[in-house]
Structure 1
Amino acid sequence: MKSFIASLARCLVVLPVALAAQSGAAQEAPVRILVGFPAGGVTDVVARLLAKGMQPELARAVIVENRPGAGGQIAAQVLKAARPDGNTLFLTNSHTTAMIPLTSLHPGFDPEKDFIPIGLVGTMPNFFVVNPDIVGTNVDSLKAFSQWAREKPGRGNIGVPAPASAPEFSVSLLNKAFGADLKAVTYRGDAPMVQDLLAGQIPAGICAMAAALPHVRAGKLKLLAVDGPERLAGFDVPTYAERGVGGLSDAMTIGIVAPAGISPVLVTKYNAAINKVVASKAFRDRVAESGIIASTGTPDDMARITEASRKANALLVKAAGYQPQ
């Protein structure tokens, strides 16, 4: 009996220590950053740079978990289902948070209710480019391209990287602005679209700066316009508004969100870590190679920009006459 009591006493001493150790281990679980696109893509590269930089700031392991599919929709659904304990974040873009809810009848998430903005990472402008070997070297504006398309019935095809995306709906605005018979040709990503553009299968395309820039610099593609509210530094290229096309002043935004219910203390902590990484020269220089303009901000800044994107995209969808599917 004495032996049993002594053993029980030892267990009662050890048990709290073991439970405390388990609790500490749970708190120190790696922070995972969800990415809605395959490994090796632009968003994945940004996520891994963020993870590497955030790790020492948080004194915790930070890992990237790819959940590709449906333009980030799958990853968004995973985030919604995650516990709001700070262990799961999502590097998303305004296509996922501000366009998919407008174009999908059943997106599986509501960004306003299910997510909390944590911090901005940057913007990723889209370029409107043409193949000068197809349209001719004298086509140097959107108006000139539209005139070329009018003179070549059935050839005014403009490649876009995804269906039900801002680039696809942009084509409708171009048609209205210039009265040309332009048609959006959808692809699954920038890479195959640019490949067809270089091969002369399509005369023009709208794609991320990173996908087009090497070919623009090589003279194989010509840059006619860029979306966003102002010209890009280092590029003497007009915005759509300067080219006479309204409604395309919203560039794609990239940022981090967390599940609703996350502690405000963690929001502040994570925002500070993200801002420090994004503000570093090493990060800015590296993401610039991928066509991203790094930018920092508060959670409120990100919420405001996301809402602005939602309103701009709603106008695009309405102008195109698109019905959610």
Structure 2
Amino acid sequence: MGFSSQGWGGTLRRVGVLAVSVAALLAAGLVQAQSGPVRLMVGFPPGGGTDAIARTLADKLKDQLGMPVVVENKAGAGGQLAAQALKAAAPDGLTLFLSHDHTISILPQVVKNPGYDSAKDFVPVAGFATFVNALAVSGGTPAKSVNDYVAWVKAQGAGKGTVGVPAPASTPEFLVKVIGQKYRLDLQSAPYRGSAPMMADMLGNQIAAGTGSVPDFIENHKAGKIRVVAVLGGARQAILPDVPTFAELGLAGFEDLPYYGIFAPAGTPKATVDKFSDALAKVLTQPDVKERLTAMGLTVGFMDQATLAKREQAYTKVWAKLIKDSGFVAQ
């Protein structure tokens, strides 16, 4: 079968247009995104607050994106392993990282060689909430307030006590140090690999107190298994109206609220980032999602790429001063 010169030229033109279209889609990261599930990495074990948040969002994001979104727990070193994996991932729209402030803003300042640079290796996709950290006591202690806990520690061990933290060199660990200084207690941090194992020890009365995010504590607090006795931030939390802030108790300096966001590898095309950002914005408008996240202790609010980037930079700056003033030396 032969081709006329006109027919052959038309075929070439059509092929050329198709090639350009495919190239454009590849540049946008859209063709690859259709070829497999999106990995939404979490730097902590299953069962903790961050894991529950990720699974809530992943379930809804898959409907908006029209493709599977699979939560992958890559626990270890306060999210450091997941962050390193994000850096190494191809910028093809198939790998995202859901994280809070610790891994993005704080950890790179307290670890000498974290294996990533948040500003250079990651692209902010969108933020979706702020939250506060808190001090909670286990059911095995009689304490119902911070003052009760201080008195109990002094009575039990001459002012010596151990407080669980979900990750080393984190906001909760710095909080333990500040609480000890304020109340003249010899408090030692006990770092865990995430909030879930810390909570297990608190529920088993293996450890008398723990610091972490409100989402880590709220379910067991509501069940009466532990007691949140104080929260950070500039105002009491609607979900914990009877729990005072540390500022009310005379411990200031932790009013700037940490955040949750989603990040992609550097080099991810803007079209791909926009696609995920738009999908998250739509998910957050769904009443059941907002209700679920609020019940976990989050203040839900969408932050686009630029807003999340500014918040990350501002929070990093705040913590640079706090870390310097504390005398902490990068390990």
Q: What is the rounded CA distance, in whole Å, between the counterparts of 1:102 and 1:203 in structure 2?
A: 29
Q: Is the counterpart of residue 164 in structure 1 residue 173 in structure 2?
A: no
| C-alpha RMSD of the superposition | 3.1
Match of 2:81 in 1: 74
Q: What is the rounded CA distance, in whole Å, between the counterparts of 1:72 and 1:218 in structure 2?
A: 28
Counterpart residue identity of residue 173, structure 2: E
1:156-195 residue pairs with structure 2 within 5 A? 156-195=161-200
1:249-260 residue pairs with structure 2 within 5 A? 249-260=255-266
Per-residue deviation, 1:224:
1.4
Match of 1:297 in 2: 303
Match of 1:142 in 2: 146
Contact 2:32 2:94 in 1 (8 A): no
Which of these residues, 193, 197, 206, is aligned with residue 202 of structure 2? Answer: 197
* Deviation by residue 1:6-39 (Cα, 9 ceiling, x = unmatched): xxx9xx99xx699888978535233332222334
Which region of structure 1 is more displaced relative to structure 2, 246-255 or 140-149? 140-149
CA gap 1:185/1:59 in 2 versus in 1, 3 angstroms = closer
Q: What is the rounded CA distance, in whole Å, between the counterparts of 1:109 and 1:289 in structure 2?
A: 33
Q: What is the rounded CA distance, in whole Å, between the counterparts of 1:41 and 1:148 in structure 2?
A: 28
Q: Is the counterpart of residue 111 in structure 1 residue 118 in structure 2?
A: yes
Which region of structure 1 is more displaced relative to structure 2, 253-262 or 59-68? 59-68
Counterpart residue identity of residue 174, structure 1: I
1:260-275 residue pairs with structure 2 within 5 A? 260-275=266-281
Match of 2:320 in 1: 314
Contact 1:37 1:68 in 2 (8 A): yes
Identity of matched residues, %: 38
CA gap 1:70/1:184 in 2 versus in 1, 3 angstroms = closer
Match of 1:38 in 2: 45
Question: Would you say how many aligned residue pairs link Structure 1 and Structure 2?
Answer: 313
Counterpart residue identity of residue 180, structure 1: L
Per-residue deviation, 1:319:
4.2
Contact 2:129 2:300 in 1 (8 A): yes
Q: Is the counterpart of residue 86 in structure 1 residue 102 in structure 2?
A: no
CA gap 1:39/1:53 in 2 versus in 1, 3 angstroms = same
Q: What is the rounded CA distance, in whole Å, between the counterparts of 1:232 and 1:285 in structure 2?
A: 15
Counterpart residue identity of residue 113, structure 2: H
Match of 1:6 in 2: none
Match of 2:5 in 1: none
Q: TM-score, normalised by structure 2?
A: 0.81
Counterpart residue identity of residue 211, structure 2: I
Contact 1:86 1:266 in 2 (8 A): yes
Counterpart residue identity of residue 240, structure 1: F
Q: What is the rounded CA distance, in whole Å, between the counterparts of 1:221 and 1:62 in structure 2?
A: 33
Q: Which runs of 5+ in 2 are unaligned?
A: 3-7
Contact 2:45 2:194 in 1 (8 A): no
Contact 1:166 1:316 in 2 (8 A): no
* Deviation by residue 1:243-274 (Cα, 9 ceiling, x = unmatched): 11112224442111122233333333322211
Per-residue deviation, 1:116:
1.5
* DSSP-derived class of the 2:210 partner: strand
Contact 1:279 1:295 in 2 (8 A): no
Contact 2:163 2:209 in 1 (8 A): yes
* DSSP-derived class of the 2:41 partner: strand
* Deviation by residue 1:253-312 (Cα, 9 ceiling, x = unmatched): 211112223333333332221111122112122234444333211212212222233233
Match of 2:290 in 1: 284
CA gap 1:81/1:173 in 2 versus in 1, 3 angstroms = same
CA gap 1:167/1:33 in 2 versus in 1, 3 angstroms = same
Per-residue deviation, 1:41:
4.1
CA gap 1:265/1:163 in 2 versus in 1, 3 angstroms = same
Match of 2:249 in 1: 243
Contact 1:122 1:254 in 2 (8 A): yes
Counterpart residue identity of residue 217, structure 2: A
Q: What is the rounded CA distance, in whole Å, between the counterparts of 2:112 and 2:274 in structure 1?
A: 34
* Deviation by residue 1:168-198 (Cα, 9 ceiling, x = unmatched): 1111211232223322222333233333334
Q: What is the rounded CA distance, in whole Å, between the counterparts of 1:258 and 1:245 in structure 2?
A: 36
CA gap 1:40/1:182 in 2 versus in 1, 3 angstroms = closer
Q: Which runs of 5+ in 1 are unaligned?
A: 4-8
* DSSP-derived class of the 1:43 partner: helix
CA gap 1:59/1:129 in 2 versus in 1, 3 angstroms = closer
Q: TM-score, normalised by structure 1?
A: 0.82
Per-residue deviation, 1:110:
0.6
Contact 1:127 1:224 in 2 (8 A): yes
